[in-house]
Amino acid sequence: MASAYSQPLNYSDTLQTTDVAQYTGAIQHAMQQKFDINLAKVEDLIGKVSAIPLYRDKDKQYLGDRLQKLLTNVDASAKLDLTDNTVARQLSSYISSAVDDNVKKQVSNSQRINSFNQQLADLKGKKDGGYNEANHAYAVYKAGLQEYASGESDDLGNLSYSPFVDKNKVLDELKKIKDLKGDQVIEIPNGEGQVRKTTLNGLTSQEIYQYMPQLLSSDVLNQIKIDGWARVKDNMGEAKSNFETLKKSKLDTYDAGIKEYEAVINNTLKSKKEIEDAKRGLDYIKKERVESEDNFKNIDVDNPEQLGYYLEKLGYQHSIASIASGRVSEEYKKDDYYFAQKELELKQQEEIRKQAESNAKLGLDANGNPAVGNAAGYVESLRIEHSFLKHQL
């Protein structure tokens, strides 16, 4: 009888080991690709973080130290599986943490500085008068750029350049006003046969000061402030001295005016009208003095911007008033009315003289009465006076 062992054995197909090797190689290749891609991403990120543009060496050092510390921690940890995309993303996030809020702040400041420098370079290239060294220095001063660059401060103020403005354009506006107003002519007879003709070609200094608030635009005032700051920033001692001198002079002028008005008020010989006028003047000048003193108190003499602005504006207005004020000319012309009157008097004297001569021949005086004195002498005096009047004409 046949047994189980007598049954023939059946074997399956032979396993092909070459297929397994190929499969394993494909997996390893795919993993290597993932590793290479993720490693390239990490290295690219490290390069970008390292190359972040920063204006100060101090900030570059700060970022470099943070990045190095993070990479050291990565190296010290267990070997990372960069074939895992999740691990790669976590590593990228970790490296990105080198850019903290401080680095972001300094990156922003650096970008602003670069933009500012580019703006100035463009203005210099145009050569249209928009660039000015004082305006450049003032922008740096206002932003605190020097303190920031030196590391004294980590904060940067408003870094903004104001293009240069020609303050003399105010003269053009004054000329327009002057042309519209025209010449001012005043004629006054001098009682000696002449008329004094006074011509003001332009505006008076007082009129110019009255127009100043309208003429000084915001950009002109800003340029005055910049010029004033530039003038006094390195000469604060002299500027303070000038300020105190001007202050004392102005207040002394008010005090002198107050005393004059008070003298009129206390003078019993003055009329009621003069005293009332003096009282009004006294009230006005006292009010002006108080306002002026308050204005002086509001000026910080230790601030080159405020002190410079006050002195520059005062000097600028005085200069404009002196340059642009009208020129006064005088001339004398014949007074037609005066000579018409003299000619009439001459004719009248001539008639009287002729009448006197006629009366003298008849033995009569000037009134037609019989002559008592020297009629011939009277006629001669009339002749002399007539000759004098004729000479004047």
pLDDT higher than 70, residue 30? no
Which of 49-53, 283-287, 348-352 tops mean pLDDT?
Answer: 283-287
Q: Among 64, 99, 134, which residue terminates a domain?
A: 99
CA distance 283 to 288: 9
| Whether 261 and 186 share a structural domain | yes
pLDDT in tens, 268-295: 899 999 999 999 999 999 999 999 999 9
pLDDT in tens, 155-181: 999 999 999 999 888 888 877 776 766
What residues make up the domain containing 210? 169-334
| Whether 250 and 132 share a structural domain | no
| Whether 261 and 238 share a structural domain | yes
| Whether 95 and 112 share a structural domain | no
Instruction: Please tell me the pTM assigned to this model.
Output: 0.66
pLDDT higher than 90, residue 47? no
| Whether 282 and 304 share a structural domain | yes
Nearest to 349 by CA among 366, 328, 374, 331: 366
Q: Would you put residue 156 in left (φ > 0), alpha (ψ -120 to 50) or beta?
A: beta
CA distance 249 to 254: 9
